[in-house]
Structures are given as structure tokens and as C-alpha cells.
Amino acid sequence: MGPRAIARVLATVEDMTRVWLSGWEWSCCGDSFAVGDDVDFGIETRTPTPELVDALGAGIAATIGALESHHESEFTDRVRGRAVAIHAVSQEVVERRSLRRPGHGAPLTATMPPDGEEWPMRRQDLGNGVFIGSRPSRYVIEHVPVPGSALVAPARGVRVPESGEDQVSRTAADTCSDPAVDRRMRSLAGWLVDVEER
């Protein structure tokens, strides 16, 4: 490889920024996009947080040049350009279930339902005999990340169907035959987006 080719490679690397997009934030209210699309990210920080390093491992965290956020405020630091590669990052989690009780997943003033009965329906009357409501599960579900279990896989996009990210199983808590047993599964942690900045 000649000096000009090396200079082009170095210039490409210098103009590239790897941005971390957290799974919970983008699953909530991020727009979908794919490789090749133009992107504009608000950057909360340029340094991975200790929590992110713990969750993803030092090797993956070291490749991150910016952490995107769009919930707390409008950030003046931006990464703008074309998404040239996207990777879904998943990690192993332990699903733990514990019985919902006052002070643990229910208000301290709540009255525990008798064994075998459901928690009471919480409802709001909308008028004309119409109401909306919800009934909490008998169990509080907690997903505890397993350190060092992060895996990176190429994806076609962020929030694009069949983009390769693994989601937490949607099995209802009350259908588990033994709620005391911890279950291990893989969960989407977020995305790494390589942006060719302009």
C-alpha cells in the first residue's frame, strides 16, 4: 500500500466516530434508520461511563467515541454524517422473579391479596361506562446483566425489523411454573453506530 492509500485510510479513520445508542432509550422513542442513512445524534459525553464499561467490557467500550442521548436535554455536541456500519450489542441477563408485596413492587400502604388471588385492578373511569385499567403481575421481574457477556453482531439498522438484535423473551411472569428459578437469557443492550462525519 502506497503513501496516498495509507493517508486515505487514516483520513477515513479520523472522520469516523463510533456512537453508542442505548437500547432502552431508542426502543422508547428513537427513530429507525439503516446503514447508509444520514444521522444527527445529540452527544451527552465523549467518554464511556464506568457503568457502560462494566456492562459491555473494556474492549468494546474502548471503541466508543461518543454516547448519544435525547431524553434529558438538547445537547449542543453533535455527531452528524452517514451511518456506515451498525452493530447490535446484546448481553446475557439473569431474570429474577420475586413475589410482589407491599414495599416490594407495590406501595407500602397496599393490601396484599389472599393467596391465589390477583392484585386488584387499578382503573380510571372515562365516563359513559368506559374505563381503562391494569392489574400488576403477582411477581416483580428484575433483569440483572451478566458482566463480560456482551456480544456484537452486524445489523442492517436500528429498530429495523430482522436487524439481528436479540430481545428479552416476552413470556409472561405468571406463566412460569417455578417463579423462584432464575432464568438466563440474552437481551438487547444497544447499538454501536459507525458514523462517517461530515
Give CA angle at 148 (144, 150), nearest 5°.
Answer: 80
More confident residue, 110 or 178: 110
What value does the CA radius of gyration of the chain take, rounded to a whole number of Å? 22
pLDDT band with cut points at 50, 70 and 90 for residue 103: low
- Under 8 Å between Cβ of 144 and 96: yes
Cell of 29: 422513542
> Which of 48-52, 116-120, 140-144 is predicted with the least confidence, judged by mean pLDDT?
116-120
Which pTM value belongs to this model? 0.68
Is the pLDDT reported for residue 168 higher than 50? no
- Under 8 Å between Cβ of 106 and 136: yes
62-79 per-position pLDDT tens digit: 999 999 988 767 788 999
Nearest to 135 by CA among 146, 124, 126, 122: 122
Count Cβ neighbours within 10 Å for each residue of 2-27 and write b for 16 or more, e otherwise. Answer: eeeeeeeeeeeeeeebbbbbbbeebe
Q: Where are the domains of the chain?
A: 14-96+144-168+187-197, 101-134
